[in-house]
């Protein structure tokens, strides 16, 4: 028998959508640090669930903050997932991974071409070689009011105008590609569509259990073959015009039947709310709204931590 007890599993932190609110991100990070023992924080696995840009005013500052984390906290491991907003930003500035079969990005337009005029897709320089989501992101939507959010649109259907402005250019300007620093383009290029982590402990009413964890921005579909979904996510298959696992709603809300009862945590952001049901976690309290906090969850304890503001700071599930 070993003379040393086994090392405790690393703390896992999952951070919800940030959407350009760098002050909230700084506040959340401070609150996470205060909530954890120093050694647990210093060695944590930190999984950011995607959607770093749009809606809030400081996308550039958010990405600078995230890029600085490995140097500030070298004992941590940082995972940056791709959200639907990040995929669209990457598409517009030309850093989306190319389709694996060599097909052009214009092949992604056909399925949604009936929306082109209404959504005001981007038609500036370079649009011919752009993924459909990049064209939607950099476009100019005709409607001014977003009935789902009860707020005006900010430039495009993605609310991308604040992202353009954070880099010092007008919404829809092709100059954004030159204005975004190379290290930010690398960040966008390298975002993963799924993260899979083994041996994650989680506290339950029956005691602590060890699980696999799957982190994906929106979730996994119940009706599509799980292996096909995992293939698309692991290979970042950009032939897909709209990746449901990054942008779906009700279709990705629940855990796929292939994973139920298999001690698999599925954690996402995207949905603009907190939802915890067994091993399914949706952590997106902010939703890109100015008056709502950014939330994170800590495993194994399932402690919820929020950016400090009118919505409070911490609570225990």
Please check whether residue 201 is in contact with residue 209, taking contact to mean a CB–CB distance below 8 angstroms: yes
Q: Is the peptide bond before 300 cis (omega within 30 degrees of 0)?
A: yes
Residue 273 gets which letter from DSSP? S
In this structure, is the dihedral angle defined by the CA atoms of residues 213, 214, 218 and 222, taken in order, positive or negative?
Answer: negative
Mapped onto helix, strand or coil, the DSSP state of residue 253 is coil
Give residues with Cβ within 8 angstroms of 129, minimum separation 6: 94, 104, 105, 106
- Alpha-carbon distance of 177 to 90, in angstroms, equals 10
Q: Which two tokens stand for residue 217?
A: 């921005």
Please check whether residue 50 is in contact with residue 157, taking contact to mean a CB–CB distance below 8 angstroms: no
- Among residues 19, 58, 85, 184, the one annotated as catalytic is 85
Place of tokens 């030159």: 178
Please provide the distance, in angstroms rounded to a whole number, between the alpha carbons at the two ends of the chain. 37
Question: Taking the CA of residue 161 as centre, how many other CA atoms within 13 Å lie in the half-sphere pointing to its CB?
Answer: 10
Mapped onto helix, strand or coil, the DSSP state of residue 270 is coil
Mapped onto helix, strand or coil, the DSSP state of residue 94 is coil
Query: DSSP H helical segments within 52-150, as ranges?
Result: 59-72, 84-92, 116-119, 132-137
Give residues with Cβ within 8 angstroms of 266, minimum separation 6: 213, 214, 216, 219, 220, 255, 259, 279, 280, 281
Residue 263 among the catalytic residues: no
Q: Which two tokens stand for residue 77?
A: 């491991």
- Residues catalogued as catalytic: 85
């Amino acid at each position: 028998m070993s003379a040393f007890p086994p090392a405790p599993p690393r703390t896992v932190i999952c951070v919800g959508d940030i959407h350009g609110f760098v002050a909230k991100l700084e506040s959340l990070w401070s609150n996470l640090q205060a909530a954890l023992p120093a050694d647990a924080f210093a060695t944590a696995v930190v999984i950011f669930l995607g959607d770093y840009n749009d809606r809030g005013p400081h996308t550039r500052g958010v990405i600078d903050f995230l890029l600085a984390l490995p140097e500030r906290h070298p004992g941590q491991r940082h995972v940056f997932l791709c959200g639907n907003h990040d995929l669209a930003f990457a598409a517009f500035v030309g850093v989306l991974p190319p389709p694996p079969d060599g097909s052009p990005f214009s092949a992604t337009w056909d399925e949604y071409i009936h929306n082109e005029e209404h959504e005001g897709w981007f038609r500036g320089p370079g649009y011919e070689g752009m993924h459909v989501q990049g064209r939607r992101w950099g476009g100019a939507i005709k409607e001014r009011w977003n009935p789902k959010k009860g707020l005006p649109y900010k430039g495009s259907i993605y609310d991308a105008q604040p992202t353009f402005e954070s880099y010092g250019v007008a919404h829809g300007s092709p100059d954004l590609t030159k204005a975004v620093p190379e290290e930010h383009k690398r960040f966008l290029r390298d975002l993963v569509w799924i993260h899979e982590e083994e041996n994650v402990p989680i506290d339950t009413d029956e005691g602590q259990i060890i699980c696999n964890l799957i982190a994906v921005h929106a979730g996994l579909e119940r009706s599509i073959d799980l292996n096909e979904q995992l293939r698309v996510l692991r290979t970042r298959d950009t032939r897909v015009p709209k990746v449901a696992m990054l942008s779906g709603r009700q279709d990705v809300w629940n855990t796929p039947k292939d994973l139920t009862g298999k001690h698999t945590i599925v954690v996402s952001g995207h949905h603009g709310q907190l939802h915890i049901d067994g091993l399914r976690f949706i952590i997106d309290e902010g939703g890109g709204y100015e008056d709502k906090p950014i939330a994170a969850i800590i495993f194994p304890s399932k402690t919820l931590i929020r950016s400090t503001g009118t919505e409070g700071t911490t609570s225990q599930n």
